[in-house]
Chain A
Amino acid sequence: MNRSLMSVLLCVTLISGGIWTSAFSQNASHTNGTLPAANVRISLPRKEGSLRFAVIGDTGTGSKQQYQLGQLMALSREQFPFEFVLLLGDNMYGGETPKDFEQKFSEVYKPLLDAKVKFFATLGNHDLAVQANYANFNMDGKEYYRFKRGNVAFYSLNSNYMDQKQIKWLESELAADTSEWKICFFHHPPYSSAKKHGSHDSLRDVVEPIFVKYGVNVVLTGHDHVYERIKPQKGIYYFVSGAGGKLRSGDIDAKSPLTDRAFDKDMHFMLFEVVGNQLYFQAISRTGETVDTGVIANRRAKK
């Protein structure tokens, strides 16, 4: 009896596993690689009327792994329909011909682009300035820009070249901004425990006082090819999410006092949901594992 039950269970497991593998193989067949047998468990609340978006950084390799992560993002959207994606820079490594745009971006995220999901990009140290004119990056020809969704204002900054003009623009925009949530995203991390690059002190010295003064809540960056959630600094939540196309395995300094949570074993992307004065987040690895999840409260925002 027990043996029969075991056999039935084994069959069900194998059949369901086969269905998963088959479905993934079909999806992957045109996208340059076989996907790992991954499922995504969304831990976000999925409240009605909430703002939902995804975040991914350092993507533009065109590698098999980038395609796999792109597929996983599309899969996660079936359960968690996010409206747009923030790209954290290094959108195109090693060349920017029309073919590169296709192989390293539009083909990778085709299911999302086909579903009218918008991408909002920022420039990394591998990106030409003219990427700001690429229609699918929604930068409107600008290297730094602001857009708003609901009660959340998003600021894309160019951390490659934080000059006087950009600093003045940022200050004047933030000073006039009455949004309940202010989220900045750019490439170089003001705080990072990665050994390769680490914290960008010079950038931090210039932008952090502005963020603090004008109530920026969250800062999203890439550059280091790892995931890291930094312990809140001066009331601001900093994330490093730079492993969307490249991974620097074992790069996190385990002794760093900055880290709240870090992951450097595989590539990842992030999902966010804003529900009134709560911002929920989840970081998901290429194999579908939740590597971090949590909620940030905003005292300024209405419940």
Chain B
Amino acid sequence: MKHTIKTALRLTISIYVGVIWALVASANAQSVSEKQAVKMFESEVQEYVKLRNRVRENVPKLPKEATPEQIHTFMMAFQDATRAARSGAKPGEIFKPAVSEAIRATLKNHFRGDDRVELRKTIFEAENKSIPLKVNYPYPTSKEYTEMPPKLLLELPQLPKEVRYRFVGRNMLLMDRENNLIVDYMVNALP
């Protein structure tokens, strides 16, 4: 009788240990693959930044104390030159499936928190839902930009200063800060 109880106990403990080990291993494997996806994303972003910085060197300079005409000329020239340099760009070249999944998971987790009502209100009240999602096309200057929730920005993969995240409805865009071009986007990013 005693022997049977001991055997049952050993068996139960073994099963528990096995399950916990499997869960930890799975979580680690997931986190390793997520890390790789983020690393790949960061490197793709860097490639874009290198390209746009090369392009920027050959457009009219933008002084720190510019006139509206200089700003306009710079923007137009920078947009045109970047679009020409990336003429074959397609959606998903930077937001590849693996990193998109990782970002979706971050967003899903973030939108579960206490702030979810305010976050959804901020994002969905913006009058920008009608903008066409087209890679390598400018975001219309007549449309407003959604404020990025600061706590979410701390959780997403960090970006160099030349580019930034932006929401348009449930979709997430990667935008060029200066030439206002949509670098890439992922649809249905928000839960």
Contacts and interface: CB of A to CB of B under 8 A. Distances in A.
A-B complex is real? yes
Interface in B107-125: 115, 118-119, 122, 125
B153 A162 contact: yes
Contacts of B67: 98, 134-135
Interface of A: 94-98, 100-102, 125-126, 128-131, 133-135, 140-141, 159-165, 167, 188, 196-197, 199-203, 205-207
Interface of B: 62-72, 74-75, 115, 118-119, 122, 125-126, 141-142, 144-154, 158-159, 161, 164, 177-178, 180
Contacts of A133: 62-66, 70-71
A203 B149 CA distance: 7
Indicate the member of A94, A95, A125 with the most B CB atoms within 10 Å: A125
6 contacts: A100-B68, A131-B71, A133-B65, A160-B148, A202-B118, A207-B150
Contact of B147 (A96, A135, A159): A159
Nearest to B142: A94
Contact of A206 (B64, B147, B150): B150
B147 A201 contact: no
Indicate the member of A96, A102, A199 with the most B CB atoms within 10 Å: A96
Given A125-B144, A131-B71, 5 more contacts: A96-B71, A134-B66, A161-B164, A202-B115, A203-B149
Nearest to A101: B68
Contacts of B146: 125
B26 to A, nearest CB: 30
Given A94-B142, A205-B151, A129 B177 contact: yes
B178 to A, nearest CB: 6
Contact of B150 (A97, A98, A135, A202): A202
